[in-house]
């Protein structure tokens, strides 16, 4: 053991605590002087003798003499260790001299390293970094000072990549450094390098396989940062070693549910149901356990869980909604009763909308679904289903508004565009039969929206085709009317549609070369015809 002492010239020296002092303390404490020192006993002796650090050494035979190896360990943290280079010599005293010199060199980092720790305690991370780097400069093989550097970089908010680099430098010297393994794991999690992070967390757990608290901290980190699959075999090993520890069961339940390992989830969930008052007080637990039962084809157990949950948590609308979903056979009574209890439950309103649509009561279904998405605008595909119902009810203008709302609420733009394109194409087919400007214009609204949200050669071509159809029908109808004002309006509409038709058809040329070419030729033919109609029916236009 060693401790720092200040000399008169204000320099620092090491006072080595000899074996006599240690033996005296052992005898005073009632221990045999030949007792093998455990870590707890070493730390107790260190406090009495005011030691700062000690060396854990090993002696072994080498090919040409004896080998000394070991670690310099800080008394205040047994996990802060500095591996000492091996010393090999023909005789023990020669090896000891070499080893002692290596220890002295390693201790050169300790004074600035302690300043680093003090600066960190004072929340002065920048100064801590300076002191840690000075310590590493004094002893380039440093692990203890680099550990303080790693912590100071984290406290200073430096990049995860820089923290990782320091942690890796420590691990290159000491592959079992607890602090470096954890620092590297945290940095890799921040960098989203999940596979490497999981490997580092599991290496950390192997440094102390008897430490259950450490193991549970590792499982939490694995699940929290997206490595639940890697956590599954690890938690299975913990369950086998600690079958009665409720903390292990909780983690096993959590991991199994995240991984959708439903058989394991049911097994862990049933233990929690029987033994864990915390789980029984959580409404989400009943929801999740019911989901697991349903997944393993135990519907009656799922309904039992939900029925118990509805009884225990009478104000939980989500619980009641899932309960209603699981007993579809009684939906006619369950859903109305649920809506009476929870009139502002978006989930129940959506279930009711589905039930009404199944009965072909589209108007009532649309009303229920509109209220559901008003309560929960983030409902998946909510506005798209509203748009579909409105199209089925012959309300295309309202459907287009719903599509705009769907995009505004963050729905997948490609999916919304595909829906609008399909509806616009169907409306275009209708317009080619009726040949009215109104029908072509309605189709054009949907196709233009689709092309704006998610452009494609198909959407561009259909925009051009619909605009051409609108132009042709408007110019044709303009010649058949006796009302010159209406003829002027239609002639103007036809003329306005032609540039849009040209742009759209040109955008679709790559995918629809022949069709686009024929249609563009027809645009060229209509262009002068539109000019003549404007001159005839709208003489006052400039």
Model pLDDT for residues 178-225, shown as the tens digit of each residue: 999 999 999 999 999 999 999 999 999 999 999 999 999 999 999 999
Cα dihedral 101→103→106→112 (10° resolution): -110
Average pLDDT over residues 345-370: 86
Q: For 381-393, what is the mean pLDDT?
A: 90
Whether residue 11 is predicted with pLDDT greater than 50 in this model: the reply is: no
Nearest to 502 by CA among 452, 457, 461, 455: 461
Share of the chain above pLDDT 70, in %: 89
Q: Contact, 292 vs 257, CB < 8 A?
A: yes
Residue 291 pLDDT exceeds 60: yes
Which pLDDT score, from 0 to 100, does residue 28 have? 54
Quick: pLDDT tens for 416-463: 999 999 999 999 999 999 999 999 999 999 999 999 999 899 989 999
Q: What pLDDT does 180 receive?
A: 96
- Please give the Cα distance from 72 to 86 (Å, whole number): 12
Least confident of 14-28, 130-144, 310-324: 14-28
**For residue 358, what pLDDT band results from cuts at 50, 70 and 90?**
confident
Q: Is pLDDT above 80 for 311?
A: no
Give CA–CA dist 224/125, Å, rounded: 27
* Region of residue 454 (left: phi > 0; alpha: psi -120 to 50; beta: else): beta
At residue 45, the pLDDT reads: 56
Using an 8 Å Cβ cutoff, are 144 and 80 in contact?
A: yes
Output the pLDDT for position 183. 96
pLDDT (0 to 100) of residue 367: 92
Q: What is the mean pLDDT of residues 163-172?
A: 96
Greater model confidence, 14 or 179: 179
Distance CA 344, CA 310 (A): 17
pLDDT at 8: 44
Q: Which residues pair with 60 in a beta bridge?
A: 67
Selection from 377, 380, 382, 378 nearest residue 365 by Cα? 382
The count of other CB atoms within 10 Å of the CB of residue 388 is 19
Q: pLDDT-derived band of residue 40, with 50, 70 and 90 as boundaries?
A: low
Would you place residue 499 in the very low, low, confident or very high pLDDT band (cuts 50, 70, 90)? very high
Report strand pairing: 53-62 vs 65-74: antiparallel
Strand, helix or coil for residue 73: strand
pLDDT of residue 21: 52
Nearest to 475 by CA among 411, 399, 400, 538: 538
Closest CA to 147 of 194, 78, 212: 78
Q: Is the pLDDT of residue 48 over 70?
A: no
Task: Describe the strand order of the beta sheet including 53-62 as a list of residue ranges.
Answer: 12-16, 2-6, 53-62, 65-74, 77-89
Q: Given pLDDT bands bounded at 50, 70 and 90, which one contains residue 43? A: low
Least confident of 90-94, 112-116, 255-259: 90-94
Buried b / exposed e over 430-467, threshold 16 CB at 10 Å, is ebeeeebbebbbbbbbbbbbbbebbebebbbbbbbbbb
Q: What is the pLDDT of residue 49?
A: 53
pLDDT higher than 60, residue 12: no
Please, are residues 42 and 56 in contact by the beta-carbon 8 Å criterion?
no
DSSP state of 329: G
Mean pLDDT of the chain: 86
The reported pLDDT for the residue numbered 310 is: 81
| Half-sphere exposure of residue 399: CA atoms within 13 angstroms, side-chain side | 25
């Amino acid at each position: 053991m060693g401790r720092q002492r200040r000399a008169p010239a204000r320099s620092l020296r090491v006072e080595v605590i000899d074996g006599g002092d240690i033996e005296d303390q052992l005898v005073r404490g009632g221990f045999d002087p030949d007792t093998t020192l455990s870590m707890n006993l070493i730390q107790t002796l260190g406090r009495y003798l005011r030691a700062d650090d000690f060396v854990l050494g090993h002696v072994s035979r080498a090919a040409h003499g004896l080998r000394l190896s070991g670690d310099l360990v800080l008394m205040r943290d047994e996990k802060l260790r500095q591996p000492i280079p091996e010393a090999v010599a023909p005789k023990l005293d020669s090896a000891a001299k070499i080893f002692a010199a290596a220890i002295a060199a390693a201790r050169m980092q300790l004074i600035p390293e302690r300043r680093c720790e003090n600066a960190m305690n004072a929340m002065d991370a920048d100064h801590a970094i300076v002191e840690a780097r000075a310590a590493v400069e004094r002893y380039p093989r440093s692990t203890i000072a680099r550990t303080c550097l790693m912590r100071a970089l984290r406290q200073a908010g430096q990049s995860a990549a820089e923290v990782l680099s320091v942690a890796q430098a420590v691990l290159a010297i000491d592959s079992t450094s607890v602090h470096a393994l954890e620092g590297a794991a945290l940095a890799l999690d921040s960098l989203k390098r999940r596979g490497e992070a999981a490997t580092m967390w599991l290496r950390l757990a192997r440094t102390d396989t008897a430490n259950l608290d450490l193991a549970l901290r590792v499982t939490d980190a694995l699940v929290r940062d997206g490595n639940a699959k890697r956590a599954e075999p690890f938690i299975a090993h913990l369950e086998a070693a600690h079958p009665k520890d409720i903390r292990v069961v909780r983690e096993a339940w959590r991991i199994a549910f995240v991984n959708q390992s439903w058989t394991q989830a049911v097994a862990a969930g049933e233990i929690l149901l029987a033994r864990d008052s915390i789980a029984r007080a959580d409404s989400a637990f009943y929801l999740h356990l019911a989901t697991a039962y349903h997944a393993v084809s135990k519907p009656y157990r799922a309904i039992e869980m939900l029925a118990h949950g509805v009884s225990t948590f009478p104000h939980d609308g989500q619980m009641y909604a899932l309960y209603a979903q699981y007993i579809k056979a009684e939906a006619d009574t369950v859903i109305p009763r649920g809506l009476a209890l929870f009139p502002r439950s978006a989930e129940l309103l959506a279930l009711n909308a589905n039930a009404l649509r199944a009965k072909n009561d589209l108007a009532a279904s649309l009303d229920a679904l509109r209220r559901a998405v008003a309560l929960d605008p983030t409902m998946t595909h909510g506005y798209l289903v509203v748009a579909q119902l409105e199209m089925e009810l012959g309300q295309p203008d309202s459907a287009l508004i719903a599509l705009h709302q769907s995009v505004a609420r963050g729905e997948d733009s490609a999916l919304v565009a595909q829906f609008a394109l399909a509806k616009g194409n169907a409306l275009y087919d209708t317009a080619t039969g009726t040949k009215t400007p109104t029908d072509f214009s309605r189709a054009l609204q949907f196709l233009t929206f689709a092309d704006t949200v998610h452009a494609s050669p198909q959407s561009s071509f259909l925009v051009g085709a619909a605009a051409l159809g609108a132009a042709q029908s408007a110019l044709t109808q303009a010649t058949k009317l006796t009302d010159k004002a209406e003829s002027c309006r239609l002639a103007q509409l036809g003329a306005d549609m032609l540039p849009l038709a040209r742009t759209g058809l040109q955008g679709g040329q790559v995918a629809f070369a022949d069709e686009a070419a024929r249609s563009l030729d027809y645009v060229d033919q209509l262009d002068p015809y539109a000019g003549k109609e404007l001159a005839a029916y709208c003489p006052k236009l400039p």
